[in-house]
Structure 1
Amino acid sequence: MGRNKLVRFKENEENYNVVQEGKPSFETIKGNWKAEHFENQNPIVVELACGRGEFTVGLARENSEQNFIGVDIKGSRIWKGSKTAIAEKMENVAFLRTQIEQLDKFFDQNEIHELWITFPDPRPRDGDEKKRLTSPRFLEMYKSMLDEGGIVHLKTDNTGLFEYTLDLLNSRVDIEKLEHTFDFYQSPYQKEHFGIKTRYEKIFSDMGEKIKYLRFSFK
């Protein structure tokens, strides 16, 4: 392991806005994000596979009346977002280091208002369907944690994952307010995202890939 990673892991242990194994809050945070961590009752917005946290931090800059949590297993990645938020004194940003498969251990029913899935691994092989972050088992988990009217967003460059997700959502009876575009930057939705791009989004956009976007709620 490189020295830089060791330094970042050590700083994550000290950074108040990182919730990870070894800290007391890791065992008690479920159902208590508003009261114990943010100390307010503002809506919670979660980004899955947040990487370096560019999108989480970017949204938090634009929405001071909401709380934002980036989730990723890579500590050396969330370190960047954590340090940026601390440097800018952004009290409405936190990071959770865990596997997304374990998300329901950290969020209670109705605790999340919005959920962002930004450029996830598309898992293109049929045998990997269960690992896709929009597969049925993940959708059921999200449904239990979202509040009434809560929104799920998906942004991806991968057409296969996008079409898979659209087909799946259209086949379910518990989905409402489903909207989508195959060309995000030629759609009215882009204005709602404040021009914030993740690292991967910039890479794919520069390569000429069209960005796909959808959002929906559960009935």
Structure 2
Amino acid sequence: MRVKHKKWAEPLMQAHPEMLVKKPAKYAGKWQERFQKEQPLQLELGMGKGQFIIGMAKAHPEINFIGVEIQSTVAAIALKKALPEKLPNLQLINADGAELTSFFQPSEISRLYLNFSDPWPKSRHEKRRLTYKTFLHEYQEILQEHGGIELKTDNMGFFEYSLCSMNNYGLVFDGVWLDLHNSDEQAHNVETEYEQKFAAKGQPIYKLTAHFA
């Protein structure tokens, strides 16, 4: 996702340090202090414009959520959407998600969401895919024992790759859906902006849930 630079984006983020963090490493092991209550902590890597993470925070007040986005303007758009909701269980990060192990201490996260990640379809870019083994190692570091991963995508190639990569790494699959929107799982599904766009075109949405053994 490439979004045109917005002049208001940086000032908005600077005006709300209570909700958006630009230097997350200093909160490693202390994220619960930024929330109203200490609750299970879940993370979305690549939150985009924030529809999913805001929706999850609204639907699950008993869980604390963090959304990470590398692009400043996109993170600012998510912040702009989140501010009117006044959600005490939501925090946002504008930083490179490739550095997760410096942002969070071991076992600090209970669940990780990967929604419509860049599939990087060319073979030479395999190491950039968010389900490549080096990323899986980082997720295992920050997730609690048996911590879960949820992945959604419209890209069949990336989905197949993720299934193989996770299986080879030793993850245990809890569920696999080849057409999420026409399954019972859809009843509890919080959609992303991309998801709505692709589903409206009739494209199947793929989903998996898995955990580290």
TM class by shorter chain equals over 0.9
- Using the aligned pairs only, state the percent identity: 33
**Residue 12 of structure 2 is aligned to residue 11 of structure 1:** yes
Q: State the alpha-carbon separation in 1 of the partners of residues 36 and 28 from structure 2.
A: 14
Matching residue's letter, 1:217: H
Q: State the alpha-carbon separation in 1 of the partners of residues 173 and 205 from structure 2.
A: 20
**Residue 120 of structure 2 is aligned to residue 123 of structure 1:** yes
Q: State the alpha-carbon separation in 2 of the partners of residues 10 and 126 from structure 1.
A: 39
Q: Which residue of 2 aligns with 1:178?
A: 174
- Name the CA shift for 1:177/1:84 in 2 (closer, same or farther; >3 Å): same
Q: Which residue of 2 aligns with 1:29?
A: 27
Matching residue's letter, 2:200: D
- Name the CA shift for 1:162/1:3 in 2 (closer, same or farther; >3 Å): closer
Q: Which residue of 1 aligns with 2:191?
A: 197
By how many angstroms is 1:119 displaced? 0.3
**Residue 130 of structure 2 is aligned to residue 133 of structure 1:** yes
RMSD over aligned Cα, in angstroms? 1.7
Q: TM-score, normalised by structure 1?
A: 0.90
CA deviation string 1:164-215 (max 9, x = no partner)? 1112222333x2243201110122211222xx32111122112221000001
Which of 188, 193, 196 aligns to 2:184? It is 188
Which of 206, 210, 213 aligns to 1:216? It is 210
Moved more, 85-94 or 132-141: 85-94
Q: Could you list the runs of 5+ residues in structure 1 that have no partner in the other structure? A: none
CA deviation string 1:122-156 (max 9, x = no partner)? 00011111100011000000001001231100000
Q: Which residue of 1 aligns with 2:38?
A: 41
Which of 56, 64, 67 aligns to 1:70? It is 67
Matching residue's letter, 1:32: K
Query: In 1, are the aligned partners of 2:120 and 2:128 still within 8 Å (CA)?
Result: yes
Instruction: Spell out the pairing of 1:98-113 with structure 2 (5 A cutoff).
Output: 98-113=95-110
Q: Could you list the runs of 5+ residues in structure 2 that have no partner in the other structure? A: none
Could you say what secondary structure the match of 1:42 adopts? coil
Q: How many residues align?
A: 210
Matching residue's letter, 2:29: G
Q: Which residue of 2 aligns with 1:57?
A: 54
Q: State the alpha-carbon separation in 2 of the partners of residues 162 and 75 from structure 1.
A: 27
Q: State the alpha-carbon separation in 2 of the partners of residues 78 and 153 from structure 1.
A: 21
Query: In 2, are the aligned partners of 1:122 and 1:132 still within 8 Å (CA)?
Result: yes
Query: In 1, are the aligned partners of 2:36 and 2:88 still within 8 Å (CA)?
Result: no
Q: TM-score, normalised by structure 2?
A: 0.93
By how many angstroms is 1:3 displaced? 10
CA deviation string 1:29-81 (max 9, x = no partner)? 111101x2114320111111111110000000000011111101112112222
Query: In 1, are the aligned partners of 2:116 and 2:153 still within 8 Å (CA)?
Result: yes
